[in-house]
Amino acid sequence: MPGDVFYFPDLHEAHKSLTASAVVIGEHSFARFEHVGASLPGVSVPLPSYYVYFGTNKNLAVNSLAGANFDGTWNATGNANSITAAHVRYDSANAGYLAFEQHLASDNAYVVLSDNPATKKIHFWDLVGGDKIGSRLQVNIFSQLEATQRWFTSPESASFVNYASATQAFINPS
């Protein structure tokens, strides 16, 4: 019999990266901290919430953002099947900007929607998705809407591209 199943090590000398007034824990999948203070070197930044996923669903790791030289991600909220994230990003073409990403996933399917860069005049709205149907069929989709506009005004120009694919595994006759 263990001495105390609720034994916690003494961490009073350790650096705290987050403090929170409450936490919601999804068994074997996530922790969502409420009323958070994020400790950065020399300053504490207040956040409404912070989400950490530690489950095994690989579909929640799918990303729909274009590459960047730097990406600081704030997983604002989520549960066992979704993540809502804001990104502070930098790349040589856009300099600094913000991006948004929404993930929805199950064990066999996923959809990720993003706006990248969200704070520049040219926006790329991306939607990626996939569904594993049975043990031998998978369908995937990639859609992108490019719009040149300031926030939600009428766009100066726009274009749309959509790709869909299906992969079928054959039965091995041997």
Averaged pLDDT in 10-residue chunks for the chain of 174 residues: 66 79 90 87 84 91 92 91 95 94 96 94 94 94 92 86 95 80
Token pair recorded at residue 87: 């990104």
Q: Which two tokens stand for residue 41?
A: 């070197």
Single-letter amino acid code for the residue at 61: A
pLDDT of residue 84: 95
The reported pLDDT for the residue numbered 92 is: 92
The whole-angstrom separation of Cα 124 and Cα 104 is 19
**For 109, phi and psi rounded to 5 degrees?**
-145, 160
- Taking the complete model, does pTM exceed 0.85, yes or no? no
How far apart (Å, rounded) are the C-alpha atoms in residues 123 and 147?
A: 5
Q: How many CA atoms lie within 13 A of 152 on its CB side?
A: 0
DSSP string covering 5-39: TT-----TTSPPSEEEEEEEEETTTEEEEEEEEEE
